[in-house]
Amino acid sequence: MRTLLIIAILGISTNFAFSECTDYMQAFNKHQLVIKGMMDLNFQGKMNAEVGDAIGKRLQEAQKPLDAGEYNKACEMYDSILDDYKFDKSFGEAPTLDKKESSNSSSSNDASATSATSSSSEASSSADSAATQPTNK
């Protein structure tokens, strides 16, 4: 019975230890998630001056406890930004697209790649022809 009680206490305290933000890198990663969220907003066309300023002010406020070594407080502030703006909290994972979006984007990427290739080949052929023509002096 004592063994079960000790295991339960250790299990509960371990969960709290993992959820706390105890070092600089954990807080810095949350800061990076906020920056990533801002970039996603910009990509979606939802970023404007008001939103950027509001997030920027909150980031400056979170920087103070981060610099002071109060990592848990900084993480709480970053988490509130992530929650308020519904930013993606996954770190290092590529966003998944549905098949319809990925097929549309791949066809547009193919078209832009083809036009870039053709324009670069035209530029190189005109440079080759200019190099072979004699210059009049």
Give yes or no for a contact between 33 and 52, defined as CB atoms under 8 angstroms apart.
Answer: no
pLDDT category at 9 given cuts 50, 70, 90 is: low
- Using alpha carbons only, give the angle 94, 95, 97 rounded to the nearest 5 degrees: 130
**What is the per-residue pLDDT across 51-98, written as a single tens digit (0 to 9) for each?**
999 999 999 999 999 999 999 999 999 999 999 999 999 866 555 655
Please state, in angstroms and rounded to a whole number, the distance separating the CA atoms of residues 76 and 20.
9
Q: What letters, b where the CB count within 10 A reaches 16 and e where it falls short, cover 58-91?
A: bbeebeebbeeeebebbbebbbebbeebebeeee
- Mean pLDDT score of the chain, rounded to an integer? 73
Across 27-54, average pLDDT: 95
Does position 8 have pLDDT exceeding 90, yes or no? no
pLDDT at position 134 is 52
Residue 42: Cβ within 10 Å count: 13
Q: Any idea what the Cα angle at residue 128 is, between residues 123 and 133, rounded to 5°?
A: 125
In degrees and rounded to multiples of 5, residue 136 shows phi and psi of -85, 125
Residue 34's pLDDT is 96
